[in-house]
């Protein structure tokens, strides 16, 4: 299987609906100015019930600023030239792991038997590195 096919399969597994909506929210905000939730949801076909939770995660990660009160709304904190798909996915999904065994502090039951990292772990780690590299390759400004 080629690297690109592996990458596409992994992206289908990782790219949740919430992440898809987050990318669309960023795309709408990249058009400039403050936007209301209604405008974002209408322009990007996002169900309103998901938008608040997603916008809060994007704010927490530093990608979006929330303006409260009359005349409030949402805006990007920076330029999409400095934001990648990796940044958006990580802000929604957290640490991107293909397997729990790639996480910090994972206690592999196979480690006691072999005294070394297994081949599956090494391969998943390699693929995860490729995936992260591809997600960081282009800015959102380049793909919007």
> How many CA within 13 A on the CB side of residue 58?
29
CA atoms 143, 50, 90, 74: torsion sign: positive
Confidence at residue 114, expressed as pLDDT on a 0 to 100 scale? 60
Q: Minimal CA–CA distance to 55: which of 71, 79, 33, 38?
A: 38
Confidence at residue 117, expressed as pLDDT on a 0 to 100 scale? 67
Tens digits of per-residue pLDDT, 76-125?
999 999 999 999 999 998 877 777 677 776 766 666 666 666 777 778 88
Confidence at residue 16, expressed as pLDDT on a 0 to 100 scale? 86
Tens digits of per-residue pLDDT, 1-12?
555 555 555 555
3-state SS, residue 43: helix
Find the CATH number of the domain harbouring 58.
Answer: 1.10.10.10
Tens digits of per-residue pLDDT, 20-48?
999 999 999 999 999 999 999 999 999 99
Overall number of domains in the chain: 1
Domain residues for the domain of 129 are 3-143
């Amino acid at each position: 299987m080629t690297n690109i096919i592996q990458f596409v399969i992994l992206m289908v597994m990782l790219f949740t609906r919430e992440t898809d909506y987050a990318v669309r929210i960023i795309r709408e905000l990249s058009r400039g100015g403050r936007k209301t939730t209604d405008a974002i949801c209408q322009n990007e076909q996002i169900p309103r019930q998901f938008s608040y939770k997603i916008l809060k995660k994007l704010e927490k990660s530093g990608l979006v600023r929330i303006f409260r009160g009359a005349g409030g709304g949402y805006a990007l904190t920076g330029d999409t030239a400095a934001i990648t798909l990796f940044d958006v996915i990580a802000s929604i999904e957290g640490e991107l792991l293909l397997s729990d065994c790639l996480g910090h502090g994972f206690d592999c039951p196979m480690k006691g038997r072999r005294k070394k990292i297994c081949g599956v772990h090494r391969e998943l780690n390699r693929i995860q590195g490729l995936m992260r590299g591809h997600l960081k390759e282009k800015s959102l400004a380049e793909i919007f």
